[in-house]
Amino acid sequence: MPLDQARTELSTTEEARRQIEICNACRYCEGYCSVFPAITLQRSFSDGDITQLANLCHNCRGCYYACQYTDPHEFQINLPKALAEARTESWERFSWPGVFSGLFQKSGVALAAALIVGFAALFWAGQALRPESGEGFYAFLSHSVMIGIFTPAFLLPLLAIALGLRAYWREVGGAPVRLAYLVRAFREAARLKDLSGGVAGGCNFEKEDRYTNVRRWHHQAVMYGFLLCFASTGSATILHYVFDMPAPYGLFSLPKLLGIPGGVLLTLGGLGMAVLKTRGEKNLGASALWGGEMAFVLLLSFTGASGLALYAATGTALVGWVLPVHLGAVLAFFLTAPYTKMVHGFFRLAALVRNAQQT
Ligand code: SF4
Ligand code: SF4
């Protein structure tokens, strides 16, 4: 059978395995990222090994532009794409409940827009139930309505992601987790070490042979922006329930000191990632999922921007319009999180912990 025909009959996992075995013989890209040292640990690769390697990859694309076996060579190596497809297939396999898997990835932009508009309309209508005595944001939407909606909307997606991580850990043959593995994994995730492309100048995501750290910086802005926003919400919850200090909070309060820089980083980082996605070559990623990934970064950016707009509108009648939009965006983000690119953060961290156990 001709090589081309044989290749088109391979499953996503088999195609990734074929390319990884060639890379294991070649080893030219050994210093690029965590994937290649992990490949060299073994001679044969189970399905679980492929899942682990796929989730270690950052899709920086450095190995593709360095490779002498890309198309038109008969090996047809395109490791960033093969690993991206194996990775997204693993997320769909681990997603719970499975009926939602792939939904956002395939119709992301339309779904995100519909959810934001739908939820915003519900929150806007919910203002009719506001209590007479409410203050600040609670003059527009009662505290109990917000808690009643957001508590399950936060906990259920977390449960879905936890079940997915358990399935991942079983498939990759993970051992009991020691503190040292966690520390190493968190340290590498915090630095986004592998987005450096293994060289000081960064990776090739944006413009082929041009090495750049731009993607790493934007990714860090999104990650730290999200964490700051999360910490802001957490601090506001503590102030409300422990110190009986309900919102809104002043400029020099902890929720604002964390939330404003977080919102700025999330908004700008998300926009930057969106621009980079338009510049990167689609065929070096899971091209069928490009729209879903774009919808995810835009949803993140919009959530940050609507949070900043809400802060700017505080004290004015505009809050009645901006608050439902922001809450609609946050709710859309939470509820879709187990089925969007958001899960890559969790699986990537799990892959780094597993890699720490192995190397
Ligand atoms: S991507 Fe190409 S150059 Fe790099 S290790 Fe694999 S086969 Fe070798
Ligand atoms: S795309 Fe980047 S992160 Fe992925 S295997 Fe290649 S060099 Fe490593």
pLDDT in tens, 70-79: 999 999 999 9
Q: What percent of the chain has pLDDT over 70?
A: 89
E-assigned strand segments in 155-279? 203-207, 210-212
Ligand 1 atom nearest the C-alpha of 26 is: 8
Closest CA to ligand 2's atom 5: 57
Whether 169 lines ligand 1, by a CB cut-off of 6 Å, is no
The DSSP bridge pattern shows strands 203-207 and 210-212 to be antiparallel
Mean pLDDT of the chain: 86
For 4-12, the CB contacts below 8 A with 24+ separation are 4/76, 7/76, 12/82, 12/85, 12/86, 12/89
Please choose from 20, 34, 63, 70 the residue to mutate so as to test ligand 1's pocket, defined by most ligand atoms within 8 A of CB: 63
Whether 23 lines ligand 1, by a CB cut-off of 6 Å, is yes
Domains of the chain plus CATH, in order, are 3-92 (no CATH), 96-358 (1.20.950)
Q: Which residue has the higher pLDDT, 86 or 205?
A: 86
Q: Which residue has the higher pLDDT, 90 or 122?
A: 90
What pLDDT score does 208 carry? Answer: 61
* Burial letters 53-92, b for 16+ CB under 10 A, else e: bbbbbbbbbbbbbebebbeeeebbbbbbbbbbbbbbbbbb
Which residues on adjacent β-strands are paired with residue 207? 210
